[in-house]
Amino acid sequence: MLVTCADAFSEQFAKLPASAPATARAAFMVAPSALTLAAESASDNRYMDLADVPDAAAAMAQHAALAEALRQDVPVMVFPGDAACPDGLFPNNVFATAPGRLIIGRMRHAVRQHEADRGDIRRVFTDLLGYAEHDLSMREDLVAELTGSLIIDRARGVGFCGLSERCDLAGAQAMHEAFGLKLTWAFELAPGEYHTNVVMALLASRAVLLAADGFADPAVPAAIAGAYDQHAVMLSPEQKRAFAGNAITLSERRVWISARGAASLTPDQRAQLAGYGFTLGEVPLPDIEKAGGSLRCCVGEIF
C-alpha cells in the first residue's frame, strides 16, 4: 500500500512487525574516476558548489579508506569508476537490491542516466549472484532515484519516499513495487531538498536521524519519530548541511557517518545514539562531499 498522509501511515505502520533482516549482507561501491562536478546535477543539488572543485586524488584515497572501514561490518565490492559518469561514485541512486532482485533506477538528469548502462555492474548481480533484474531506467513516465529518494525500513518492509525533482509520485509507486514493500509513505520534501537520504537516515530499523526542516510538512518527521517510539535524533539545519543525516547502518550496532557529520553532533546526540545501542564509525570524506553527497550516497546495499 502506498499512502500520502500521516494518519494512514501511522495506522498501517502499527500493523507491521519487524520480522526481516534490518541490515544488508554486503555492500558495493563505485570508485571515483577523474572526479569532476557535473553542472547538470548541481542545478538541483544545493549541496554542490561548482566553484569548490574536489581534489581527485584525495577523493580516491578517501573512497578507498571508506571501503576499508566498512569491511569491519560487511564484505564490500568496489567497481571501477567511469570518467564519463562524474557522479558515478554515488551508485545507490542508480542500483539497489531487494532479496534476489537488482533494481535499476530512473535518474532525472541525462548525465546520470548513463550510469544505468553499466553492464559490468548488472552482470555481477544477474550472472554471478543470480538476481532477477527490475529495470526502471527506460521508463520515461517517472523519475525514481532509488535509495537517495527512498529510505527503507528493511525489517518491516516500509518505505519513506521524499518527493522532489529527483522522484515523483509515479516513481514512488514504481519503487514500492520494485522493492516488494508492504507500505510506502510518499511525502513532499522541503523546497530545495533533492534527496531524502540527506534529511533522514533509518538506523537498523529501530531509530532515525531526522532534519525536520528538510520536510515540507512538519507532521511528517513528527509521525516518523512517533513510529519509532521517539527513538529519533533531531538534526539542526547546520547539522543537515554537514551531512549528519547521510548515515548508514551495515550492522545492528554501528552507525557510519562522515567525519564532518560526526563532528557536528552534540554530546547529547551522541549519548542518544549510544542509548539506542549504536557506536559511531567516522570516515573523513571532505573531497567526496564537495560532489554533493556523503557517506551513505557512496554505499549500495546487497540484501
Query: pLDDT tens, 91-102?
Result: 999 999 999 999
pLDDT at 299 over 60: yes
Mean pLDDT over each residue of the chain, to the nearest integer: 94
- Say what the pLDDT of residue 56 is: 85
pLDDT (mean) for 143-155:
98
Confidence category of residue 88, pLDDT binned at 50, 70, 90: confident
Q: What is the pTM of this model?
A: 0.94
Q: For position 269, which CATH number holds?
A: 3.75.10.10
Paired sense of beta strands 26-30 and 2-3, if any: unpaired
- Say what the pLDDT of residue 38 is: 53
The boundaries of the domain holding residue 199 are: 2-302
For residue range 200-229, what is the model confidence (pLDDT) as tens digits?
999 999 999 999 999 999 999 999 999 999
DSSP 35-61: ----HHHHTT-TT--TTSPPPHHHHHH
- Say what the pLDDT of residue 129 is: 97
pLDDT at 112 over 60: yes
Paired sense of beta strands 95-98 and 101-104, if any: antiparallel
pLDDT (mean) for 248-253:
98
pLDDT (mean) for 268-294:
96
Contacts of residue 81, defined as CB under 8 A and 6 or more positions apart, other chains included, come to 30, 31, 32, 33, 34, 88, 89
- Say what the pLDDT of residue 10 is: 97
Please tell me the total count of domains within the chain.
Answer: 1
Contacts of residue 258, defined as CB under 8 A and 6 or more positions apart, other chains included, come to 243, 246, 282, 283, 284, 285, 289, 294, 295
Percent of the chain residues topping a pLDDT of 90: 86
Spatial distance between the Cα atoms of 116 and 26, rounded to a whole number of angstroms: 21
- Say what the pLDDT of residue 42 is: 44
Using alpha carbons, select from 97, 81, 177 the residue that is nearest to residue 130. Answer: 97
For residue range 11-57, what is the model confidence (pLDDT) as tens digits?
999 999 999 999 999 999 999 986 665 555 545 556 655 465 778 89
Confidence category of residue 87, pLDDT binned at 50, 70, 90: confident
Q: Which of 34-48, 130-144, 229-243 has the lowest mean pLDDT?
A: 34-48
What's the longest Cα–Cα distance across the chain? 50
